[in-house]
Amino acid sequence: MNVALITIGDEVLIGQIINGNAAWIANAVTRIGCHVVEHCTVADETTQLIQTLDRLRTSCDVLLLTGGLGPTHDDITKPVLAEYFSDVLVESEEWMTHLHEWMRSRGREVTRRNAGQALVPATARMLTNPIGTAPGILFDRDDVIVVAMPGVPDEMKGIMTDHVLPLLEEKLLQQGAPHTQYHTMLTTGIAESSLADLIGEPSQFLGTSTLAFLPNYQGVRLRIGVTGSTQHERDRERMRIASILRERAGRFVYGHDEQTLSQVVGLHLKERNHTVSVAESCTGGLLGAALTDVPGSSVWFYGGVLTYTNEAKVRELGVSPVDLATVGAVSEEVALQMAKGVREKFGTTYGIGITGVAGPDGGSPDKPVGTVWISVVGPTDHSTIKHSFGNNRRINRERSVGAALGMLWKMVR
């Protein structure tokens, strides 16, 4: 079942807002087994919308539209669709009743502007919107389903969840045709090209499945796409591919799908009643922020120290002034002493120390911008590694956090 998404609205087109709706819808319909073929964002403009409908109807079974259903002059979706399907707008008694109730429950009256929301195409199906004033509108013509939804994310999600996803699932079930589902394995501590070499030529084991390499600051994600007519078939194929990948690169795999390194590390720590604290220099709090991004992290994260000056490193973490004067703040010795110092200060199972040259200034021939020393100290073990990232301050900081979490994961798993 081929699905295309059409986003209508200048505010998305000129980049005023990021199109989170498209990602949400694409993810939701892919999960149930639909095949998304295109996202298209167009202006609040009749001709362009009609051309887009014409074009996508020839290759798709379902068109999902968002935006342009509001009460102001630039909301064109409803009249354009009515015209496109040779329909007329009529006042819906049912929706007018809903509007009155909705307004009354908020201590407001239905104004003339709002009343326009009850005008709907005569032959369309209305999809109730529990949290807003604009209903979703569904046309089913010539085996193509066209659904228009409001652009407000929560209203769109409500209509998708209550109406559109169940309808599509039913259609998919009726078809019984093979469809594709996606799963992700998350790796850390290995570069994209090395991972590809480790896994070998994908065509030799993929069959009808697909494999994509998706790098980010925490590692490389492996996205597996499996196709089959039944859930059983798809599950079997997924397990086949996953077991090959695990056999070849399993030691780098820390989780799956939407998990983060912080979440996985947190799970391991919690399970063992272990705790962690952080001593950050160049990352300035970014590692603490990543760890505490996890709800409930207060059970295993005790705190940390941000030491942006040498004095603070000595005073707060017991770093040796002699080492600072001789080998310097960005060194193996100082990273290790920071990790040990914070571990002791907070009485945690693990301590992490990060010190580096984030840039753009502060680099030298032997310690260029991007040089970052990271140390993780545990009860029986410690590991201190020099990383050489690049010239970009933000990326150096993000990659330092990813690397530190990866090192911690290796020790706690």
Q: Which of 121, 288, 356, 378 binds a second copy (CB under 8 A)?
A: 288
172 binds a second copy (CB under 8 A): no
Where does this chain touch a second copy (CB under 8 A) — which range of 165-173, 242-250, 266-274, 294-302?
294-302
- Subset of 237-276 contacting a second copy (CB under 8 A): none
The DSSP H or E segment spanning 373 is: strand 371-377
50 binds a second copy (CB under 8 A): no
236 binds a second copy (CB under 8 A): no
Considering the complex, state which of residue 223 and residue 246 has its C-beta at the smaller distance from a second copy: 223
The DSSP H or E segment spanning 395 is: helix 393-412
Where does this chain touch a second copy (CB under 8 A) — which range of 30-38, 80-88, 136-144, 228-236?
30-38
47 binds a second copy (CB under 8 A): no
Burial of 130 (0-12, 13-18, 19+ CB in 10 A): exposed
Where does this chain touch a second copy (CB under 8 A) — which range of 42-50, 81-89, 91-99, 118-126?
42-50
Residue 180: beta bridge partners?
227
37 binds a second copy (CB under 8 A): yes
189 binds a second copy (CB under 8 A): no
Residue 257 DSSP label: T
Q: Which of 100, 171, 244, 302 binds a second copy (CB under 8 A)?
A: 302
284 binds a second copy (CB under 8 A): yes
- Subset of 318-347 contacting a second copy (CB under 8 A): 346
Q: If you write DSSP's letter for every residue of 179-238 in order, what string do you get?
A: EEEEEEEEE-SS-HHHHHHHH--THHHHTT-EEEEEEETTEEEEEEEEEESSHHHHHHHH
Pairing of strands 136-141, 125-127: antiparallel
Query: Rounded to 5 degrees, what are φ and ψ at 93?
Result: -60, -45
Say if CB 413 and CB 399 are below 8 A apart. Answer: no
Say if CB 173 and CB 67 are below 8 A apart. Answer: no
Considering the complex, state which of residue 91 and residue 154 has its C-beta at the smaller distance from a second copy: 154
Tokens of 247: 């056999």
Would you tell me how many other CB atoms lie within 10 Å of the CB of residue 71? 14
Considering the complex, state which of residue 26 and residue 87 has its C-beta at the smaller distance from a second copy: 26
Count the residues of the shown chain that bind a second copy, applying the rule CB under 8 A. 112
**Angle, helices 261-271/393-412, rounded to nearest 10 degrees:** 30
Q: Which of 291, 335, 352, 407 binds a second copy (CB under 8 A)?
A: 291
Considering the complex, state which of residue 28 and residue 50 has its C-beta at the smaller distance from a second copy: 28
Binding mask 382-401 for a second copy (x = CB under 8 A): ------xxxxxxxx-x----
Considering the complex, state which of residue 293 and residue 381 has its C-beta at the smaller distance from a second copy: 293
Binding mask 112-141 for a second copy (x = CB under 8 A): -xx---------------xx----------
Q: Which of 22, 120, 264, 335 binds a second copy (CB under 8 A)?
A: 22
> How far is residue 376's CA from residue 43's CA, in Å, rounded to a whole number?
51
> How far is residue 88's CA from residue 200's CA, in Å, rounded to a whole number?
59
Q: Which of 19, 188, 349, 375 binds a second copy (CB under 8 A)?
A: 19
Among 37, 65, 36, CA closest to 49: 65
Q: Which of 58, 232, 295, 366 binds a second copy (CB under 8 A)?
A: 295
> How far is residue 116's CA from residue 104's CA, in Å, rounded to a whole number?
17
Where does this chain touch a second copy (CB under 8 A) — which range of 27-35, 83-91, 137-145, 235-243?
27-35
- Subset of 151-170 contacting a second copy (CB under 8 A): 152, 154, 158
- Subset of 207-226 contacting a second copy (CB under 8 A): 210-215, 223, 225
Residue 163 DSSP label: I
Q: Which of 42, 168, 339, 408 binds a second copy (CB under 8 A)?
A: 42
Peptide bond into 166 cis (omega under 30): no
> How far is residue 81's CA from residue 120's CA, in Å, rounded to a whole number?
10
Q: Which of 1, 8, 25, 168 binds a second copy (CB under 8 A)?
A: 25
> How far is residue 117's CA from residue 398's CA, in Å, rounded to a whole number?
46
